[in-house]
A and B are shown apart, each in its own frame.
Chain A
């Protein structure tokens, strides 16, 4: 009896162990088998695409009698966006996505992943590029364009542009040329060339008795007068990708000399920053960060510094037209704030501009998946979406057919002022992300503190930039 019991125990234990081993094997396979519409699922779209591809292949091979349409799995596109939450372009993005889902509801699904900031988006896309698991459409900003091309992760769009002259016209030849490499078009711009100067608080300027500066000397003099009036002159940040600090750096380099202008208008990625014009620009930004900004500038993020400007703690903030809607957003700025804001060029008639790398199709798998991704990209970059970005986000359009309505211009004089300044600007320089390798984006936030706390000189800062450029593989 005892022996039987013991044998039973052993058999049960052995069966359980075998079951556990089998379940582990099953776990490893489950990801592929599972079909999910979960918006947060990292693999669902890929799975669906693979299934679609698989079923298509099987259908062809087997010579199935069933109509091809019945065998097709519904395509699900993965799309990630950082224009969410408090992002200045969140409302326009939400509207565009709502319309896209409505338009394509009978053709394919769109899964949207919300990523909380630009820098997080860039980091995450780099991670996904490394594991060949990018969403079906990604943006090309901050080096993602080059990474996608290097990794053979992008779908060339030339034939789609050739087949659709309307789309080509909506994007425009200038942007198409900007996003063409080796004779292939790789991405479609989402917005026209951005024009970036700085916004200033007219009341605070009046209190200090100043007008927007024409030269860098005058600019520093203005900053001193603001300080004397008890006002912190500038909103600057070195956190995230240090965008605001780098706008001043780009303007300072680009307006310093003909060499500086040439440096900041070249689209090639530089690897030598140890130049007098760059060092001079670094000196200017160092002075601004040390003497004329808030205590939290080093390490601060956009949310901090924009809030300082809205709350009238600072008198100036550099940024693009997409910030304009927030000046009248009651959730961000006090009532009547919009009327207090003016816009100006950087000293020496400088403006920072940027062509848009736009978005690339990085879909893989079946033709159906890629076709769906291209359709979605056409919508994202098309005239309807451009119009929404313009009217809701003050983003300049690409297409000449998309013009601001008279009501928009009337209710948005700042945007009109900015457009006028664009015509007046003598030096239009690219921002730093256009002239530096993509690995710079994560280094600014650790480099600037060294400069501000006098651990390194501007010359050493430039040499460190060279070191970072040397580590790049673009």
Chain B
């Protein structure tokens, strides 16, 4: 039967294969190939071997700061962001009177573009007329003034707070999965005397393992791509305090006009991203049945 349908299966997946080959395949091959070259606007790529990679790992540059910032943000997003989403989903799953409006309102920050969110926060956190500083002054701290995005003590925190708490996407994933759990399991647990907390801890969350894995993958890959919001707010500053790898790639390519080096960074980012996804899949055993 399988052999008979081979051609048909191939035909079904052909569009996807073509799409992947055209959009990603050629781009990735070009990216990796030119990462071994010296390449600026106006020059043809010139093969220089591993020089760009050596510069990346040993040069006087922002690579390590950008990488570690990204790793910290991935860690926070995978743990805190996904946990917030899970907690929110567990609360909403009780389907109290507010659950639909809460679900919709919580979604709002996720449907606004990153650049717009960045602009919004620039106004909210402005040291002179921003809402946050003015509220703090209004409650009695008259001389309070913090330049949230540019002060070294607050810049990383301020940037992080633009995305960390808004976990609507994971919460929707969890909510859909929770609603698909057989109600008989809840009933059985209640008959055995389990409390709500115990049901969540020992019945619901273990059954969400696959979805948690998926949410963690989405959270991690979201952080690997994060660029717009940083570019709008801090540009990676003050200094290199809030730079991440995509921002560093952008600066290397378009500000320093060093496309070969930027493509070496891009190649590293792709390898790192794929490794992260495989690691998360291994940890959560995503795709394997719990039954």
Contact = CB atoms under 8 A, between A and B. Distances in A.
Interface residues of B, number: 38
B19 interface: yes
Contacts, number: 112
Contacts of B221: none
A404 interface: no
A191 B42 CA distance: 28
A439 B236 contact: no
A442 B42 CA distance: 21
Contacts of B8: 10, 13-14
Contacts of A17: 11-12, 14-15
15 contacts: A14-B11, A17-B12, A21-B15, A24-B15, A129-B41, A150-B41, A295-B128, A296-B128, A299-B147, A299-B149, A442-B235, A445-B237, A446-B236, A449-B239, A455-B152
A130 B18 contact: no
B257 interface: yes
A287 B204 CA distance: 59
B145 A295 contact: yes
Contacts of B166: none
Interface stretch (B81-89, B177-185, B210-218, B247-255): B247-255
A16 B257 CA distance: 45
Interface of B: 8, 11-12, 14-15, 18-19, 22, 40-43, 60, 126-129, 145, 147, 149-152, 234-240, 251, 253-259
A339 B239 CA distance: 40
B238 A450 contact: yes
Contacts of A449: 150-152, 237-239
Nearest to A456: B239
A298 B257 contact: no
Interface string A145-157: 0010111110000
A309 to B, nearest CB: 13
Contact of A442 (B149, B151, B255): B255
Given A24-B18, A129-B41, A296-B147, A439 B127 contact: no
Interface string A440-474: 01110111011001011000000000010001110
A181 B259 CA distance: 25
Contact of A151 (B41, B152, B235): B41
A126 interface: yes
A17 B126 CA distance: 54
A467 B12 CA distance: 54
A445 B254 contact: no
Q: Is the interface of B mostly helix, strand, loop or mixed?
A: loop
Contacts of B127: 295-296
A276 B99 CA distance: 65
A445 B12 contact: no
A127 interface: yes
A415 B240 CA distance: 41
A3 to B, nearest CB: 13
B15 A20 contact: yes
Nearest to A143: B257
A25 interface: yes
Contacts of B11: 14, 17-18
A153 B40 CA distance: 13
A183 interface: no
A139 B111 CA distance: 35
Contacts of A25: 18
A150 B40 contact: yes
Contacts of B258: 471, 473
B114 to A, nearest CB: 15
User: Which 10 residue pairs are nearest across A and B when measured between Cβ atoms?
Assistant: A449-B238, A446-B237, A151-B42, A150-B42, A299-B150, A295-B127, A298-B150, A151-B41, A442-B255, A450-B239
A299 B60 CA distance: 25
Contacts of B151: 298, 449, 453
Interface string A117-160: 00000010011011000000000000000010111110000000
Nearest to B17: A21
Given A14-B8, A150-B41, A446 B257 contact: no
B119 to A, nearest CB: 11
Contact of B257 (A308, A447, A472): A472
B258 to A, nearest CB: 7
Contacts of A441: 255
A455 B237 CA distance: 12
